[in-house]
Structures are given as structure tokens and as C-alpha cells.
Amino acid sequence: MSEQLIIRLGSRAGQTISWLVWASHSDEVIASGEVANAGELGQLAERLGTRPVVALVPASDVVLKHVSLPTRPTRQILQALPYMLEDEQAEDIDQLWLALGPLEQHEGQYQQQVAVVQRERMDGWLSWLQEAGFNVTRMLPDALLLPDNPLPACIELSEQWLIKQGPWQASAIDSSWWPQYLALAALPNIASYSPWPADIMQSQQSMEPELPLALLARQLQHISFTLLQGPYAPKRQTNKHWQQWRSTAALAGVCLVVYLLVQGFSIWQLDRQLTQVQQQSLAEYQQAFPGETIVNLSRQVEQKLATVGMGAESANFLNLLNALQRQLAEVGDINIDSLRFDAARTELRFSANAGGFQNFERLKTALEGAGYIIEQGALSNDGARVQGTVVMRSRT
């Protein structure tokens, strides 16, 4: 997605929050506005929360520093950075978060750029956004996004003046202190992207006025720095709807696996029953005609029946036998104990045992559905298996 939601947070939850939807592909503003405080971010998330979020925080809450290093920084040297800065900080170093900026080298001297911010501030900013439902991809000081300019650049935003005097030298000054700051800084000239206050005496170059967040958004592609490093690094983004339905999807996946296992077992069981019926048919044929090689059982049975003058009857018998064999394989867990064909009545009578009464009922229903007349005798249960007799006739 080429659109980004840029949210400029305040130092405190009760301060006004500015936002802007920026289309980087067309370099234009899609929408912009303000919410009264952090508590209203949830309403903003409902409207615009599907876009990647870049959070801007007041540069007045972030101190940008240069740390001189004797050699190219190693992992051990970077881990020691907090203690190298400890004497410069009024607060306990453990209460501060250090984010690494670019590394510079001048005449063999390495300088590591570092951003220092209170952990309490970081935790607060992230909690406001996360509780509202935003997934933050980047966070950086607002003034750092002012354009690089031969002159110090400034713009007014949310009762503060943002000023950038170098690639890693940016801050934010409350509007009420802006005249005093300029007097102390004694800047020869300054480039202003906001209308200049008439009551402030300062040599300045008026740039084309622009919506503050739009000016900052345009520089995002040129700066890779983010405060979200280490433990604050963004977690892998997960679709919010997927999170809501993840349990349901997991349950559905389990059900699918169970279903496939049951179906696989059923197919294996049916195949086993079919093999059993085929083996039983082969055994009975071999018993009737010992020593004869079996190549095609159905054709050989037809030939045997034909030799004894049972052409039509054999066809009826084979039709009944084939139909029974198919349905036994479908129903499963029914074993044939004996078979007898009555040519005069054109019926096939068989005794069988099954795992339950319902197996006989399913077989009866299946055979009737295939077009046969079924008479089922009394069923008995010997404790382990159900015994029964079935008579099967063709309707024609």
C-alpha cells in the first residue's frame, strides 16, 4: 500500500494530535485533521487504521547526540554506549532509551549518532497507539524530517516551532519561548516554511508555506532512522480480522484433519471388506473346483453355469452377487458366512455377521436403493457380533 497514516503525537495524552494520510506514489495529501487527545485515537483507527502508521513525536522529548568512538563500533562498544553517556544525563541511564542513528567517519574518527528518550515516554506513545488498534511501523522525532537546507529550517506545528540545523541536529521549541530561543541562538538567517510572526525580529527567508505534516511526510523516504529498535521494534504485522478468527480457523483445521483421518480409515476399512469378500469368493470357487487356476472369476463362473445349462440363471446370479459385493464394500463391517442361490425363485440368500444392527439396516437400504427387493430375517446378537439372514431378489 502506497498510502501512509502519519500521526504526530504530543508529549502528554491530553494534547491535540495531528494526523495526515499521505500518498507517496503521487506525493499528495489524501486527508488530514486533528483529534483532541490520545483517547480519541480509537475513533481515528476505525476510519483509517488499515494503513501503515508512522508516528512522529515531539523533538523536544528526544535528545540527538554524537558519541565519539575510538574505533569502528563493535557489538560490545554499542552495548557500552549508555554508560558512556551516563555522566551527561540528569536521569538514571536505565530509565532512558537509546536508539542508534547513522554512523559517521571524519578523518579516521568514528561518530555514532544516538537518540535519547525516556522509556516512560516511549511506553506511553506506543500504548496510546496500540490501545487504539494501530500497528506502528516507524517512530521518529518530528523536526528530524524538516528538509535539508543550507540555512536552518523551521516550521510551526501544534504550538511549537520545529527547527533543524543539520542532519542530526533538530529540536522543538514552544511557541511562547521561540523569540528567546532565537535571541540566544543568534542565527544569522533562517528558512521558514510557516508565515513569520511580525513581532519577532529575525533575519529569515520565507519558503513556500506548506501544511506542516505534508512537508515532513515528503522527507520520510530520505531518512531511514526509527526509534523503534531492539525491544521496541515492530512485531510482525498480523491482520486484525485474522486475530479475531484465528481460534475458529484453528478449530476448523483440526476438524478437517480429523475428517480426513476418519475418511482415510473408512476407505481402508471398505477396501479391506472388499478384499475379504473377493477372497471368500475365490475360496468357495476353489473349494467347488479344486485344482483349477483362477484368472477371471466372474467369467469362469459364467462358463461353469453355462455348462450346466444355467445361462439365464447364471446372469441373474452374477448380477445379484456383483451388486451384493459392491454394497458390502460400501457398508463395511459385514462378513458373509454362507451364500445360496435359488434359480427357481431367482433369489440370493445369505447369512452374515456384522458389527451392529445398523450395519444390516444400512445394507438393506443400500440394496433397495440399487433396485433390489430385500427380505431381512430375524437378527440375533451373540454378544460380540450380530447374526442375520437376508434374501435378495431382482425387481425384474
Comparison of pLDDT for 254 and 24, the residue scoring more: 24
- Mean pLDDT within 336-357: 85
The answer to whether residue 142 scores a pLDDT higher than 70 is: yes
> For residue 277, what pLDDT is reported?
61
The answer to whether residue 298 scores a pLDDT higher than 70 is: no
pLDDT band at 264 (very low <50, low <70, confident <90, very high): low
Per the structure block, which three cell numbers stand in for 384?
A: 460380540
The domains of the chain, with CATH numbers, are 3-237 (3.30.420.380), 248-394 (3.30.1360.100)
- pTM passes above 0.75: no
Round to whole Å and give the CA distance between 338 and 243.
Answer: 60
> For residue 310, what pLDDT is reported?
44
> For residue 114, what pLDDT is reported?
95
- Mean pLDDT within 24-47: 92
- Residues 271-288 have pLDDT tens digits of 676 676 667 667 766 766
Q: 334: part of which helix (H) or strand (E)? A: strand 334-342
- Mean pLDDT within 11-17: 95
For residues 137 and 52, the answer to whether their CB atoms sit within 8 Å is yes
Angle at 180 (CA atoms; ends 174, 186), nearest 5 degrees = 120
Per the structure block, which three cell numbers stand in for 119?
A: 522509556
The answer to whether residue 381 scores a pLDDT higher than 70 is: yes
Q: 337: part of which helix (H) or strand (E)? A: strand 334-342
The answer to whether residue 312 scores a pLDDT higher than 60 is: no
Round to whole Å and give the CA distance between 61 and 121.
Answer: 8
- Mean pLDDT within 1-23: 93
Round to whole Å and give the CA distance between 374 and 395.
Answer: 10
> For residue 98, what pLDDT is reported?
94
> For residue 341, what pLDDT is reported?
81
> For residue 309, what pLDDT is reported?
44
Comparison of pLDDT for 218 and 312, the residue scoring more: 218
Distance between terminal CA atoms of the chain? 70
Round to whole Å and give the CA distance between 196 and 200.
Answer: 8
Round to whole Å and give the CA distance between 95 and 79.
Answer: 15
220 three-class SS = helix
Q: Comparing C-alpha atoms, which of 55, 219, 203 is closest to residue 139?
A: 55
- Residues 80-136 have pLDDT tens digits of 888 888 777 767 888 999 999 999 988 778 999 999 999 999 999 999 999 999 999
Per the structure block, which three cell numbers stand in for 224?
A: 531511514
CA dihedral angle for residue 179, residue 184, residue 189, residue 191, rounded to 10 degrees: -50
> For residue 297, what pLDDT is reported?
66
Percent of the chain's residues with pLDDT above 90: 48
